[in-house]
């Protein structure tokens, strides 16, 4: 039994370009154009899921994918840090940022820890292992990073050493017993870089 999971990171937003923790904001126009340029490059899927956030749903729409919302694909909840620039938080709350980056069980006030995101990603992948066919999942960098370390059996701290670009593709395969990482960081087609919104 072959199971394939293709995770696509949502496109960039104005907030992410500023280095801010995301709110539920729309994609920037350039990301919409890049996603539209990727249409037709994805293989047929048996199911398409998207995270609930607007930026993930807009990425699915721009790719012309009819996706249903899967709550397990939600981005990490950043609580009181949502909308704030990382650089500003580092200056204002250096101990809080240091703890968050060093301890996967630390969460921003009112938010989620990396360990919480990892539990959701693991649950999704365990559930998918019993579903033959190809699933495309539009999600966020935090979910993709935790899925990668889950498959590799790496410690959660390794997430901070994985760069997931907007609109990049990460591909996993399973034989129904275990997952393998097939490809990671496949970017939008080069021809898309010349497009205008």
Q: Range of 73's domain?
A: 3-77+113-194
Q: Does residue 100 lie in a domain region?
A: no
Residue 147 has pLDDT above 90, yes or no: yes
What pLDDT does residue 184 have? 85
Residue 6 host element (H or E): strand 3-9
Q: What is the CATH number of the domain that holds 59?
A: 3.40.50.1240
Taking only the tens place, the pLDDT of each residue in 76-121 is 999 999 999 999 999 999 999 999 999 999 999 999 999 999 999 9
What pLDDT does residue 41 have? 86
Q: For the chain, how many structural domains are there in total?
A: 1
For the chain, the C-alpha Rg in angstroms (whole number) is: 16
Taking only the tens place, the pLDDT of each residue in 43-61 is 889 999 999 999 999 999 9
Q: Does residue 29 lie in a domain region?
A: yes
CB count in 10 Å sphere of residue 79: 13
What pLDDT does residue 189 have? 56
3-state helix, strand, coil in the chain (%, to 5): 40, 20, 40
Rounded percentage of the chain residues whose pLDDT exceeds 90: 86
Per the model's pLDDT, the better-predicted residue between 65 and 42 turns out to be 65
Strands 3-9 and 68-69 turn out to be unpaired
What pLDDT does residue 42 have? 87
Q: Does residue 89 lie in a domain region?
A: no
Q: Does residue 59 lie in a domain region?
A: yes
Q: Does residue 166 lie in a domain region?
A: yes
- The pTM of this model reads 0.92
């Amino acid at each position: 039994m072959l199971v394939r999971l293709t995770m696509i990171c949502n496109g960039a937003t104005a907030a992410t370009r500023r280095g801010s923790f995301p709110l539920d904001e729309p994609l920037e126009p350039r990301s919409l154009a890049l996603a539209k340029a990727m249409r037709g490059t994805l293989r047929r899927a048996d199911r398409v899921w998207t995270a609930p956030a607007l930026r993930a749903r807009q990425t699915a729409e721009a790719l012309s994918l009819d996706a249903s919302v899967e709550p397990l694909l939600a981005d990490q909840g950043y609580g009181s840090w949502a909308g704030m620039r990382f650089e500003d938080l580092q200056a204002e709350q250096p101990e809080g940022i240091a703890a968050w980056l060093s301890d996967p069980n630390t969460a921003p006030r009112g938010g989620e820890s990396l360990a919480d995101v990892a539990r959701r990603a693991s649950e999704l992948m365990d559930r998918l292992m019993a579903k033959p066919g190809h699933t495309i999942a539009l999600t966020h960098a935090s979910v993709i990073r935790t899925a990668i370390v889950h498959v590799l059996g790496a410690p959660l701290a390794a997430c901070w050493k994985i760069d997931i670009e907007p609109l990049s593709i990460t591909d996993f395969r399973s034989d129904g017993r275990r997952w393998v990482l097939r490809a990671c960081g496949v970017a939008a087609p080069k021809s898309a870089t010349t497009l205008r919104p």
